[in-house]
Amino acid sequence: MEHTLDIDGWRTNLRFSACHMLVRHQKCSRIHGHSYAIHLRLRGETDENHYLFDFGVAKKKLREFAKELDHRVIIPTGSDEIRTENDRKNGRVVVDMAGKRYVFPEEDVILIPTRASTVEELSSYLLNRLVAELVLPSGVKQISLGIDEGPGQGAWSTIDIEKDE
């Protein structure tokens, strides 16, 4: 029998606050912020102990991700439309985006290898990291990670897990 394990980031306090900007968006190209939540859903068959995955292990890893992103400016590095210069000598990050130039203290920025800082891209980025960094039990067949940028609005990414037989 297939089971689903859900972790609601709002209710379990898997949250972070951050700011970003989106290239070519009429309103959201201006720097702005959100209160985000991270959600997780696993599907598959339980093991001999009758559970799919340990909630504590999953939440610990998601809290690490939230801590990395919390109170940061999220800057994607995979876009041709956004150029970044990490000026380590002066402790700052310079960002050029669609004719705008931003200079941030290095400690306030997180550079992520995505094309944009949308919830769609953030959910894919964190899901791929989660799959790479966790050892998933053989019963897990699918894993989905959602990012909300406020209650009721967000995006999910899903990976089907293929196990070697």
Active site residue 71: yes
Active-site hit among 3, 19, 28, 120? 28
Active site residue 19: no
Answer yes or no: are the C-beta atoms of 102 and 23 closer than 8 Å: no
Answer yes or no: are the C-beta atoms of 148 and 37 closer than 8 Å: yes
Q: How far is CA 122 from CA 31, 127, 137, in A?
A: 17, 8, 24
Active site residue 121: no
Interatomic CA distance for residues 154 and 165, integer angstroms = 35
Query: Which residues make Cβ contacts (< 8 Å) with residue 86, sequence separation at least 6?
Result: 93, 106, 111
Active-site hit among 20, 34, 121, 149? 149
Active-site hit among 45, 71, 106, 107? 71
Q: Provide the annotated active-site residues.
A: 28, 71, 149
